[in-house]
Each structure stands twice: as C-alpha cells, then as structure tokens.
Structure 1
C-alpha cells in the first residue's frame, strides 16, 4: 500500500491536469482527485523484463465541494525515461460515469458530460 500511495503522489499533478482539462468543458469548478480515490486497474511493462517503459491504467472518482462525486474516469499513462520532460504522458482519458450533483451544486454545470 505504501508503494501505491507514493505512486499516486508522484502521478498526482498529471492526474489533476487530465481531470481538470476534461471537466473544464462541463463545469465552472475544477474537481479534486484525492490519492486515496485512485485505483490501479492495470500495469503493463512494454519491452519485456527489466525494461523501464510502462502503461499504467487508473480509475478515479473526482469530487467537488465536500467530497461530492462528479463521476468516474479511466486514465492511461505512458511512463518511460524517453518521454521528456517529466517521463509521464497521458495516452487515453475515458469518462466512464457522470454522477448527478445535488441541487445546491447544479450552478457549476456548464453542460452535461457525455
């Protein structure tokens, strides 16, 4: 669990940017992603044993306000020393679910997510 927590902290800025970019089309308020709300779905080593090129797929539940779930998303990152400058690149972003916001949070909706 400790290694998972470290990984989430290191990937946090990339996760936040991807989520913010997606939801900026739909909300006036950028959702937060807490490290404990990120689940590793799949890790794939590209190139075989002891290479340092990975595809990492995560699922997260971004929240607004007092931990109100906005939806569920799947992000796939490529991690490799050949990717410059920070060795992490978002390969795919999938919005899996849209959760209904309570009435007093409806004013942050620009348009419904698809």
Structure 2
C-alpha cells in the first residue's frame, strides 16, 4: 500500500505566480480530469476515485497550431484517490483545449496500480 508519508510528489515550498496559474488551470480542468478517471476506473472499482488539484503534475504543455495559436495541448500526471486519500494508481492524461472553451481528452495512459488496504478491498470489482 502506498501511504501519503512515502509518496514522493514535488511539493512547492512557497507561492508563486506560476503556481497560482497552475492552480487556476487545475480548477478549470478538474471536472474533465475526474470524468476521465471515473471512466477508466469504473471497470475496476465500485467507488469512483477522485483527483484533487494538488495531486496533479503538469508534464508538458504546447501550442498545437503555432505561436499565439489558441489550440493547446496539456499532459498531466494524476494520482486518483479513494476515501481518506488512499492512492489507487497513477495515470497520464493529455487534453486538447481550444476556444469555447472546449476540452477534449486525447490520450489516457494508466501508469501504475496500487493495492488497496484490506479495509478497502470491498470496492475492488471481481475479475
């Protein structure tokens, strides 16, 4: 089982403009992130996991259609949790964001699965 104490995530030590922009972006993208995660894990778990904005790392962002183009791609590493922040896995999601705003999931890659503690095994679907 992965515990919060042993999980190594880059945590900022102070506030910055970049961190505030990232946090605003995560507020905007969070419903799309959670929808994608729920869709993936519904075949594995009876309870849908959540991704909190502070369990998201930006891997890459780029403009799809050149300088000052407003079709953007963002790749995120996310850590979904259930219950009292019990990690269920790690996933990489790529979204395309364009005018509207329109957000489309382009790619979903499951990177790692964590075993749930015994008292949470009841949410694992039978295979």
TM-score scaled by length of structure 2: 0.83
Corresponding position of 2:29: 11
**Aligned-pair CA distance for 1:80:** 1.1
Q: Would you say the 8 A contact 1:25–1:111 is kept in 2? A: no
Aligned length: 109
TM-score scaled by length of structure 1: 0.92
From 55, 79, 82, the equivalent of 2:73 is 55
Q: Would you say the 8 A contact 1:58–1:75 is kept in 2? A: yes
From 87, 105, 110, the equivalent of 1:95 is 110
- Separation in structure 1 between the aligned mates of residue 122 and residue 54 of structure 2, nearest angstrom: 27
Aligned partner of residue 14 in structure 1, secondary structure = helix
Gaps of 5+ in 2: 1-18
Gaps of 5+ in 1: none
4+ runs deviating over 6 angstroms: none
